[in-house]
Amino acid sequence: MKAKLATLFTVVFLVAVNVAIWSYINNPLHLPSWSSTMMGVTYNGTRKDFNPEKKNYPTPAQVQEDLELLADKVHSIRTYTSTEGMEVVPELAAQNRINLAMGAWIDLFDDDITEQDRQKFEEKNRREIQSLINLTNNYPKTILRTLVGNESLLRVRAKLAGPISEQIRAQYKGQLSEQEIKDKIEAEVKVKVAEKANQLIEYIREVKKNTWKPVSTSETWDIWAANPALVAEVDYIGVHILPYWEGVPVDLPEGAEGDAAVDYVFKRFYELQQLYPNKPIVITETGWPSDGPPRGAASASLINEAKFLRAFLNRATAENIIYYVIEAFDQPWKIELEGTAGAYWGLFNADRQPKFPMEGEVVANPMWRNFATGAALLSMILMAAFLFKRKSLKLPGKLLFGIVANLAASVLFWSASIAAAQYQTSFSVVFWSILLMMQAMAILVLLTESLELAEVLWHRKGRRTFQPLTPSPDFKYPKVSIHLPIHNEPPEMVRKTLNALAKVDYPNYEVLVMDNNTKDPAVWMPVQEDCDRLGAKFRFFHLDNWPGYKAGAINYALENTAEDAEIIAVIDSDYILSPDWLKCMVPYFDQENVGFVQSPQDYRDAHQSTFKDMCYWEYAGFFNIGMVQRNEYNAIIQHGTMTMVRKSAFEKVGPWGEWCICEDSELGLRLYEAGYDSVYCKESFGRGLMPDTFSGYMTQRFRWVYGAMQIIKKHWRHFLPNKKSALTPAQRYYFVAGWLPWFSDALALLFTGASLILTTMLVLNPLHSELPINAFLLPTIGLFAFKVGRGLWLYKARVACSTLQALGAALAGLSLTHTVARGTLQGLFTSGKPFMRTPKYEAQGPLIAGLLVIWQELLLLSLLIAGIVAMRMEPQFNNTSGHLWVAVLAVQAVPYMATFLTILISVAPNYLPGKKLAAEELDVDE
C-alpha cells in the first residue's frame, strides 16, 4: 500500500509539473494594444482550397462575406488584380463603406519569347488593364488609387540574376576579383531591370491617360531607389517594406529601446522620402508571418506577428503614414510560390478566424491547453502502465522514469501542435503522420531504456539472484550430455575445448561432437582422433550434407544422446570450460520447474588487440546488465553456449528450431511458453573466442538480429495480452523491450534516409523549404544523447571496467548500428536467411578489404558530411534552425563514423611495427 501511494504521488506530482511547464512556456505576452480602425489591408479572397490550376476563384458571396468581416476593422483594402473574381470588389466595398486601392496584375515578358507566348502575355495584361480602367471609372467614390503591377520588376530581377551571373562569371573567370565580378553582375542586372521598366511604364501611362485617379505600381524599396525613371512616371510611390524577408528581427537586442523591424520599416520609408521628396509615398505592403522558417535573424511566429503589427500600427498612426498591412487572410496556396511563410501573413487564418487579438494579452499557441491535456493524459497512462507493477522500484527510479515519460509525451504533443497549426497538403499530411509515428516509436524505445536504467540503479535487492551451488554429500548426479557442434573449425582450437571437457569435475557425463558438413577431411579427422584419444565419454559424428545448420547438428545429437541422460548441455567449439561448471549449475535442476540453466558467454582473447578489448566490454554489458535484470523477472535470453536444458523439456516443446538461425533464443522462448522457469548465474564458467575481424563481428550481430526478427514473426501472438500464452506480463515486456533497441537502430536508419532526402530538397530549394527541426530533435539528438549517457551510467554501475573501456564499448556498439538496422529490416521483410557462421582464427585483412565491407556505412557517412557542408554554405540556413539541422545530421553521422574508426582500430596491427602473431598463437589456454 505504501509503495502504491508513493507511485500515485509521483504520477500526480510529475503531471502537475508538466502542465505547469506548458503553462509557463505559453504564458500570455503583454503587448501595447491597438484599438483603432486600420487604415488598410491587402485583400485576396481565395479560400483554403484554392488551386491556381483549377482556377476556383472566390465567388461574389464569398467576397461579400469577407468584406462584411473587414468592414468595421479597416478603412481601405488593396487588391492585386482586377480580374479572377475581384471584379465584384468595388461594388461590394461600396456597400460595406470600404475604400479601395485597385490593382492590376502585370507580367513583364522576355524579348526572346515566341510570338504565341508574347500574345498570351499581352492578352492577359490587356484584360487586367482594361478591367482596372473600367472599374476605376465606374466606382470613382470607392477606388481612391490604382496600382499597375505588383513586384513586377522584382520578379524580373530574380529571373535575370541567375543567367546573368553565370554568363559574367564564365566570361571573367580568373580575370577579376570576386568583388569585381559581383559588382559587374549587379550593374548588368540593374541595366536589364531598367530596360524592362519601360514595359511597365507603358501600362502605367495607359491607365493614367484613361483615369483621373492616382496611379502607381508596387515594388520593394530597393527597386524604387534604383529606378528614378519609374518614379517620374507615377503619381505616388507604392512601396513594399518587409523586414522578415530581409532577415531583420522583430526585437532589438535586450536592453535597447525600440522595435528592430518597425524601426527598419520607417528607416527605409524616410530614406525614400529623402531620395524623392516631391513624391507621396504609400506603404502598400508591410507585415509579418505567423509561421515559416527563420530568415537570418528574423523568426516567424504568432507572437512576432502580433508584436510587429501592434507596434507598427501605433507608430504609423502617430506619424500619419498611409499603409496597407499584408494581408487580410492567410493564403495556403502561396506555399508553392514563396515557401511556408507565404501562407501565414494574414490577420485572419484561412478559415476567417482572427489569429490573435489586437488588444490585451497574446498567447503563442492558443490551443496549448488541449495539447497539454493530451500530454498529461498520455504521461499518466505511461507511468501507470509501467510503475504500478514495479513494487521493487525505489522512489528515485520512479521519478527518473516519470520525468522521461512526461518529457517524451510533451515532445510528441508539441510536435503534433505544430503540425495542427499549419496548413497541410496531402504530401505534408503523410509526411507528418510518418514522422509522428516514428516519434512515438522513439518514445517507446526511450521509455523501455529509461525503465531499465531505473531498475538497474534503484531496484530493491533481487529475489532471483543465483549463485554457484555446492552439491550436498548425498546429491545424486544426473547424467549430462554435452553437445559440441562444429563446422569447419580449426582442429587445434577444438582440441583445447575437448581437453578442457576431459577435465570437467563431474562424475556422470558424456560429450557428443557433431561435425556438420566440413568437406576437408584434414579439418575434421584430427578432431575425431582427439575424441578417440580422450576415451569412451567422447563420441564423434561426421555429418555429410546434413540439413538444418547448427540446429540440425544438435538435433542429431539429441537423437543419439544416452537414454539415461537427463540434462542436455551445449557449448561452442571455441570454449574452454571451468572444471566445476556442471557441479555448480546442475543442482538447480532439482527444482522441477526449471527448464534451462544459463551461464554467461565470456571470452579469453581480449588481450590480443584494442579492437578485441572493445568488443569484450561491449559483450560484457549485455551479460552484466541486461541478463541480470531480465533474470529478476524470469525472462532471460537463452544463448547457444554455456546453456543446459532439461532433456524431458524437449519432449514437451520439440527439438531445436531448424527454421531459425537463432535456434537457442527461440527454444528458450518456447520453454517459457510451456511454463518452464529459468536460472541465470552471472558467474563465468567458460571462455571462448571473439571474432577476429570487424567483418566477423558484423556477421555475428547480423545473425543475432535477423534471428530475433524471425522469432518475432513466428511468436508474435504470444506477446499480446491473451490467456492462451503461458508467458507472464513481465516476460512479454522484457522480450519486446530487449528487441526494441534494435528497432530503434532501424528507426534511426529511416530517419537518416529522411534527413538526407529533406536536406537535398532544402539545398536545391532553400527559399521554399522549411526545416522540420521539431520532428527530428527527439528521435535523433535526444535519443542518441540519452542512449550514450545511459550506457555509460549503466557500465559504471554494473560492469567492472574503466571509463576508457566503457567508451571503447560504446564505440564498438555504435559501429554496429547500421548492421543492426539492416538485420532488423531484412529480418522483418525477408525470410530464409541461411545460418552465418562466425569464423575463428580468421586472418585480419588489409584496410581496403575492411572498407569494402562497410561501403554502405561509408556512403551514408559521405552523404551526411556533404549535407552538413552544403547546409553550412547556404546563407539561408545561417540561423538557429539551420544550426540545429546541422547538429541533427552530425549526430546521425556519429554511428557511421564509429564504424569507420572501428575498422581502422581493427586493422591497425597490420600496419604497426613489430611481429604480427597469428590468432592461434595469441590464443592462450588459460
Q: Which residues contact 154 (CB under 8 A, 6 or more apart)?
A: 219, 220, 223
Cell 562444429: give the residue.
486
Burial class (CB in 10 A: 0-12, 13-18, 19+), 186: middle
Lowest mean pLDDT: which of 125-129, 623-627, 780-784? 780-784
Lowest mean pLDDT: which of 99-103, 242-246, 386-390? 386-390
CA distance 791 to 281: 65
pLDDT above 70 covers a percentage of the chain that reads 95
The C-alpha cell that represents 359 in the structure block = 488588444
Residue 926 confidence class, pLDDT cut points 50, 70, 90: very low
Instruction: Specify the pLDDT at position 771.
Output: 66
The DSSP-derived string for 521-549 is HHHHHHHHHHHHHH-TTEEEEEESS-SSH
CA distance 893 to 762: 18
The predicted model gives 256-262 an average pLDDT of 75
Q: Is pLDDT of 808 > 60?
A: yes
Q: Is pLDDT of 768 > 90?
A: no
The predicted model gives 385-405 an average pLDDT of 85
Which is nearest to 760 in space by CA: 879, 857, 874, 881?
874
Instruction: Specify the pLDDT at position 424.
Output: 80
Instruction: Specify the pLDDT at position 288.
Output: 97
Which letter does DSSP use for residue 669 in this model?
H
Q: Is pLDDT of 767 > 80?
A: no
Q: Is pLDDT of 783 > 90?
A: no
Instruction: Specify the pLDDT at position 874.
Output: 84
Single-letter amino acid, residue 108 = L
Give, to the nearest 10 degrees, the angle between helix 817-829 and helix 694-715.
30
The C-alpha cell that represents 469 in the structure block = 551451488
The predicted model gives 614-628 an average pLDDT of 94
Q: Is pLDDT of 921 > 60?
A: no
Task: Mark residue 517 as left, alpha or beta (left: phi above 0; alpha: psi -120 to 50; beta: remaining).
Answer: left
In angstroms and rounded to an integer, the radius of gyration of the C-alpha atoms of the chain is 37
Instruction: Specify the pLDDT at position 524.
Output: 95
Cβ pair 289, 341 in contact under 8 A: yes
What's the CATH number for 479-713? 3.90.550.10
Q: Is pLDDT of 598 > 80?
A: yes
Q: Where in the chain is the domain with CATH 3.90.550.10?
A: 479-713
CA distance 1 to 12: 16
Q: Is pLDDT of 722 > 80?
A: no
The DSSP-derived string for 794-826 is HHHHH----HHHHHHHHHHHHHTHHHHHHHHHH
The predicted model gives 72-90 an average pLDDT of 95
Exposure string over 812-841, b if 16+ CB within 10 A, otherwise e: bbbbbbbbbbbbbbbbeeeeebebbbbbbb
Q: Is pLDDT of 817 > 80?
A: yes
CA distance 413 to 375: 6
Q: Is pLDDT of 357 > 70?
A: yes
Q: Is pLDDT of 128 > 80?
A: yes
Q: Are strands 29-30 and 38-43 parallel, antiparallel or unpaired?
A: unpaired
Tell me how crowded residue 174 is: count the other CB atoms within 10 A of its CB.
4
Burial class (CB in 10 A: 0-12, 13-18, 19+), 663: buried
Which is nearest to 903 in space by CA: 865, 858, 840, 864?
858
> Helical H runs in 816-854?
817-829, 847-853
Q: Which residue has the higher pLDDT, 919 or 444?
A: 444
pLDDT digits (tens, 9 = 90+) for 419-438: 888 888 777 788 788 778 87
pLDDT digits (tens, 9 = 90+) for 143-200: 999 999 999 999 999 888 888 888 888 888 888 888 888 888 888 888 888 888 999 9
Instruction: Specify the pLDDT at position 836.
Output: 63
Q: Is pLDDT of 925 > 60?
A: no
Cβ pair 844, 693 in contact under 8 A: yes
Q: Which residues contact 291 (CB under 8 A, 6 or more apart)?
A: 300, 301, 302, 340, 341, 343, 344, 421, 422
**3-state SS class at 480:** strand
Q: What are phi and psi of 300, to 5 degrees?
A: -90, 125
Question: Dihedral, CA atoms, 206, 207, 211, 216, nearest 10 degrees?
Answer: -130
Rounded to 5°, angle at Cα 503 from 502 and 504: 95
Q: What are phi and psi of 284, to 5 degrees?
A: -90, -10
Instruction: Specify the pLDDT at position 614.
Output: 96
CA distance 888 to 781: 6
Q: Residue 735: in which H helix or E strand, if any?
A: helix 729-764
Lowest mean pLDDT: which of 511-515, 576-580, 714-718? 714-718
Instruction: Specify the pLDDT at position 162.
Output: 84
Which letter does DSSP use for residue 477 in this model?
-
Rounded to 5°, angle at Cα 338 from 336 and 342: 100
The predicted model gives 700-711 an average pLDDT of 93
Cβ pair 238, 219 in contact under 8 A: yes
Q: What are phi and psi of 344, to 5 degrees?
A: -125, 35
Which is nearest to 684 in space by CA: 557, 802, 518, 800?
800
CA distance 556 to 547: 10
The predicted model gives 70-97 an average pLDDT of 95
Instruction: Specify the pLDDT at position 57.
Output: 93
Looking from the CA of 149 toward its CB, the CA atoms found within 13 Å total 31
- 677 strand-pairing partners: 594
CA distance 698 to 705: 11
- What average pLDDT is seen over the chain? 90
Rounded to 5°, angle at Cα 683 from 678 and 685: 95
Cell 510570338: give the residue.
115
Residue 497 confidence class, pLDDT cut points 50, 70, 90: very high
The DSSP-derived string for 200-256 is HHHHHHHHHHH--S-EEEEEEHHHHHH-HHHHHHSSSEEEE--GGGGT--SSPSTT-
Single-letter amino acid, residue 470 = T
CA 285 to each of CA 40, 322, 432, 477: distance values in angstroms, whole numbers, following the listed order: 10, 11, 33, 93
Cβ pair 408, 446 in contact under 8 A: yes
The predicted model gives 124-132 an average pLDDT of 95
